[in-house]
Chain A
């Protein structure tokens, strides 16, 4: 039935990759999605070149947030902290390969936000999701309904 819940997403939800916590990580961060209370905790170990050697995450989350972070953490090996910080939101969206609605964007982006915060050592600056387009036009549209 469902584009959003296609097999790849459900597979990563049920058996997420890189799930767990690394002992003595070089980078570590935890954050919540205030909208729903979900949490993700990311631990990263760096190699001697200060690049990602190993990454793990755990926490409670929905299919979208869990699959997104599972897919994301598969791609991080070899990246420097600067490269982690530069990762665009589209990087995650392309990995997911599905349409993400405005209300689920926070779910999809939680892992990326935590990874960036881990590489900074503090909460990464973050723009709220779901504000594409001209809000005034949405009001005008409503008048036509």
Chain B
């Protein structure tokens, strides 16, 4: 159960979507008599067999609590859990595995920063800079922080194509925010933000940068050191692993200076009646028995992703998004939100059909075995900016095929027929 660094071993192997699909048992499911075309990986991806099996193996043979006993099972569990941390660190380009904190999901990672770093560093009258394309998980914790301490929030706008307006961002940075919280890839528009450039601008203005990588991590090769951000949040269940596990990466010097978020076992150095001193990171931020099984599950999924190679994963995502944009352009009265086709245009692809509500679109697609999400996608600030209340969204995974996009388009044509458009 030791960590394996597979990052550089097989990036040259050609991408075979058939082979990839064979690694996902759920894709054998039928929905309404057709093989499921799962175009909702942006909400939660299907689980890769390697992860399911690693979870099963651990649960059957190796489970005990971590960092507790010197007995064999506890040692094995600890080794597996800390090995999972090392795998994550390796996958995202962290210099030191102590920079990886296991949490419940990306939302909890951001809340941890807002509570632990935010409460200690953001004061009344300070500013926090967000963008119009943030998921609620990267909005609400900052609003709560602003409310607690009396800080102000600014919103960096997007342009007509759905790209961040970099001039406006630069102007807002001149107001001297303490922190810029920005998504790496939009969960609605499929925009990949130029994170390295944004981080440089923000640092020049004296702001720290938190990136929400929930959508980016499953699609992009990651190197947090190269990106130059200060905090990076990801979640396991969009990475083909289990729910209940997410990761916060943060610069070690920042983690060392941060007070704890939750108190309890494991996060202490010494507890006395007079008070408690805290453990070093990452243990300081992992109170209580952690999600050991899920950490092992997500690490196995990452090792599997590394065996394919994230460069190939990104190229597959780009090709599928490009094909989806090409095909959707053929559907009358359909409007896509987000940047046009291009080398930096990834999924998801959000759209509306004039005259058919997104819920009805997704309901009719479901009858064709095509799973898409409909709604505001936890991005009501963006919906407000686009002056819509909901979109249908097709999001892709490593297993998505052009044939599934064709089925999406067929389903949309049927929706138009049902609504007699």
Binding site for B on A (CB under 8 A): 1-2, 4-5, 10, 14, 35-39, 60-64, 66, 104, 107
Complex Cα gap A83–B373 (Å)? 37
A63-B380 contact given A5-B364, A37-B389, CB 8 Å threshold: no
Complex Cα gap A37–B419 (Å)? 22
Complex Cα gap A62–B358 (Å)? 7
4 extra A-B contacts, CB within 8 A, seeds A1-B418, A104-B359: A4-B363, A36-B390, A37-B383, A60-B389
Chain B contacts for A38, CB-based, 8 A: 357, 389-390
Chain B contacts for A60, CB-based, 8 A: 357, 389
A8 shortest CB reach to chain B, Å: 13
Which of B358, B359, B390, B418 has most A Cβ within 10 Å?
B359
| B419→A10 contact, CB < 8 A | yes
A2-B358 contact given A36-B389, A36-B390, CB 8 Å threshold: no
| B375→A37 contact, CB < 8 A | yes
| A62→B360 contact, CB < 8 A | yes
| A37→B357 contact, CB < 8 A | no
Q: Which of A1, A2, A61 contacts B357 (CB 8 A)?
A: A61
Q: Does residue B374 face the partner (Cβ distance < 8 Å to A)?
A: yes
B392 shortest CB reach to chain A, Å: 11
Q: Which of A1, A10, A36 contacts B376 (CB 8 A)?
A: A36
Complex Cα gap A104–B360 (Å)? 10
| B418→A64 contact, CB < 8 A | no
Q: Does residue B420 face the partner (Cβ distance < 8 Å to A)?
A: yes
Complex Cα gap A60–B374 (Å)? 14
Binding site for A on B (CB under 8 A): 355-360, 363-364, 367, 374-376, 380, 383, 389-390, 414, 418-420
| B357→A63 contact, CB < 8 A | yes
Chain B contacts for A62, CB-based, 8 A: 357-360
Chain A contacts for B389, CB-based, 8 A: 36-39, 60
A sample of 10 cross-chain residue pairs with beta-carbon separation below 8 angstroms, ordered by A number, consists of A1-B418, A2-B367, A2-B418, A5-B418, A36-B376, A38-B390, A63-B356, A63-B357, A63-B419, A66-B357
Chain A contacts for B355, CB-based, 8 A: 14
Q: Which residue of B lies closest to A101 (CB)?
A: B363
Complex Cα gap A61–B419 (Å)? 15
Chain A contacts for B419, CB-based, 8 A: 5, 10, 63
A11 shortest CB reach to chain B, Å: 10
| B360→A5 contact, CB < 8 A | yes
Chain A contacts for B357, CB-based, 8 A: 38, 60-63, 66
A113 shortest CB reach to chain B, Å: 17
Q: Which residue of A lies closest to B419 (CB)?
A: A10
| B363→A104 contact, CB < 8 A | yes
A125 shortest CB reach to chain B, Å: 25
Complex Cα gap A132–B146 (Å)? 40
Chain B contacts for A10, CB-based, 8 A: 418-420
Chain A contacts for B367, CB-based, 8 A: 1-2
A60 shortest CB reach to chain B, Å: 5
Complex Cα gap A137–B355 (Å)? 40
A107-B375 contact given A36-B390, A37-B390, CB 8 Å threshold: no
| A36→B360 contact, CB < 8 A | no
Chain B contacts for A107, CB-based, 8 A: 359
| B376→A37 contact, CB < 8 A | yes
A109 shortest CB reach to chain B, Å: 14
Chain A contacts for B380, CB-based, 8 A: 37
Q: Which residue of B lies closest to A106 (CB)?
A: B359
| A63→B360 contact, CB < 8 A | yes
Chain A contacts for B375, CB-based, 8 A: 35-37
B134 shortest CB reach to chain A, Å: 16
Chain B contacts for A35, CB-based, 8 A: 375
Q: Which residue of A lies closest to B374 (CB)?
A: A36
Chain A contacts for B390, CB-based, 8 A: 36-38
B77 shortest CB reach to chain A, Å: 26
Chain B contacts for A104, CB-based, 8 A: 359, 363
Q: Which residue of B lies closest to A4 (CB)?
A: B363
Chain A contacts for B374, CB-based, 8 A: 36
B45 shortest CB reach to chain A, Å: 20
Complex Cα gap A107–B359 (Å)? 9
The 3 nearest A-B residue pairs measured at CB = A62-B357, A62-B359, A37-B376
A26 shortest CB reach to chain B, Å: 28
Chain A contacts for B358, CB-based, 8 A: 36, 62
Complex Cα gap A63–B355 (Å)? 10
Q: Which residue of A lies closest to B379 (CB)?
A: A37
Chain A contacts for B359, CB-based, 8 A: 36, 62-64, 104, 107
Q: Which residue of A lies closest to B420 (CB)?
A: A10
Chain A contacts for B364, CB-based, 8 A: 2, 5
Complex Cα gap A5–B380 (Å)? 28
Complex Cα gap A63–B357 (Å)? 7
Complex Cα gap A107–B357 (Å)? 12
B248 shortest CB reach to chain A, Å: 27
Chain A contacts for B414, CB-based, 8 A: 1
Complex Cα gap A2–B357 (Å)? 16
Complex Cα gap A66–B357 (Å)? 10
Complex Cα gap A104–B358 (Å)? 12
